[in-house]
Amino acid sequence: MNIGIIGLGLIGGSLAKATKRFTTHPVYVWNRTEATAAKALAEHAADGILDVPEDFAKLDLMILALYPEATIEFVRSHLHELKPGAVIVDTCGTKTLVCRECQKLVASRPEITFIGGHPMAGIEQSGYDASRAELFVRASMLLVPSSNVDKAKLQQVAEFFLSLGFGATKVTAAETHDRVIAYTSQLAHLVASAYIKSPAALKHPGFSAGSFRDMTRVAFLQEAMWTELFLENQEFLLPELDRLLGNLTDFRNALAGKDKGMLLQLLRDGKERKIQVNNLPEEPYSPF
């Protein structure tokens, strides 16, 4: 397959490098900053740069590693250039808006397949220079197909991502994705950003260990991207934030009232939930 990678940040750059490292598929890239695309070409992370409509016409799979609004606009601008049978996959951290709008656009070309995607992988750094071929090893790739997706296309896409080192693919619905991601990803970034704002953070050397590193790791983020993701997923993120604030209020009230019994119970409840989480079964891979 001819693979097109649109956007060469951490995710797009890593997808390009992983495709070149682990497969024999030709890789063609596009990036808003042309120098980055040229660097990927020079480093042999790409076989060519997508420039003119004829370049897009040769793609079998186009993967968009852009922000949500930019993803929709790119599909709108280049959909007519793709050949019949081509597949588009995005990698955005929210799915409802992107999948809805891109499915609307693709409806004008039913011979093109759009599948929502979200690689569950990342590190604190961002940008092409931080990208690496091994980023997705053992990670999960979430896929959000339409109800009428061609099962052969979905399986082809799932197998492609597995070839990059992903440990599993998981098929889900856009709303389910956004509801769960609000808790597992977005709330974690929000909490880290709020937690590190304490003046005590500046005094941590010599007084901190793993718990501080774990709590603050994702505070180093791309604020423009996460602002867009938070606002697009407000419907699901706000309830999770309200639930967290309620839980924190319970702890505050127990401390303020010196209520030892309540504090013990709150901590015991948290420990028991962690045990439940640790014992959740792993779901087997299935492309459908």
Say yes or no to pLDDT of 117 above 90. Answer: yes
- With beta carbons less than 8 A apart as the criterion, state whether 81 and 52 touch: no
Q: Let me know whether 187 and 162 are in one domain.
A: no
Q: Let me know whether 204 and 160 are in one domain.
A: no
Evaluate whether residue 286 is within a structural domain. no
What total of structural domains would you count in the chain? 2
- pLDDT band at residue 125 using 50, 70 and 90 as cut-offs: confident
Reported as type and span, the H/E element at residue 62 is: strand 61-64
Q: Let me know whether 103 and 16 are in one domain.
A: yes
- pLDDT band at residue 200 using 50, 70 and 90 as cut-offs: very high
Q: Let me know whether 189 and 161 are in one domain.
A: no
Average confidence (pLDDT) over 179-195: 97
Q: Is the pTM of this model over 0.95?
A: no
The domain boundary, picked from 172, 205, 238, lies at 172
Evaluate whether residue 283 is within a structural domain. no
The domain boundary, picked from 172, 202, 224, lies at 172
Chain segment 8-41, per-residue pLDDT in tens: 999 999 999 999 999 999 999 999 999 999 999 9
Tokens of 114: 């759009």
Alpha helices in 87-209 (DSSP H): 96-106, 151-163, 174-181, 187-195
Tokens of 192: 């880290």
- pLDDT band at residue 287 using 50, 70 and 90 as cut-offs: very low
Q: Let me know whether 40 and 134 are in one domain.
A: yes
The domain boundary, picked from 121, 138, 172, lies at 172
Tell me which residue range forms the domain holding 203. 177-278
Q: Let me know whether 117 and 198 are in one domain.
A: no
**Where residue 88 sits, what CATH number does that domain have?**
3.40.50.720
Q: Let me know whether 206 and 78 are in one domain.
A: no
Q: Let me know whether 13 and 118 are in one domain.
A: yes
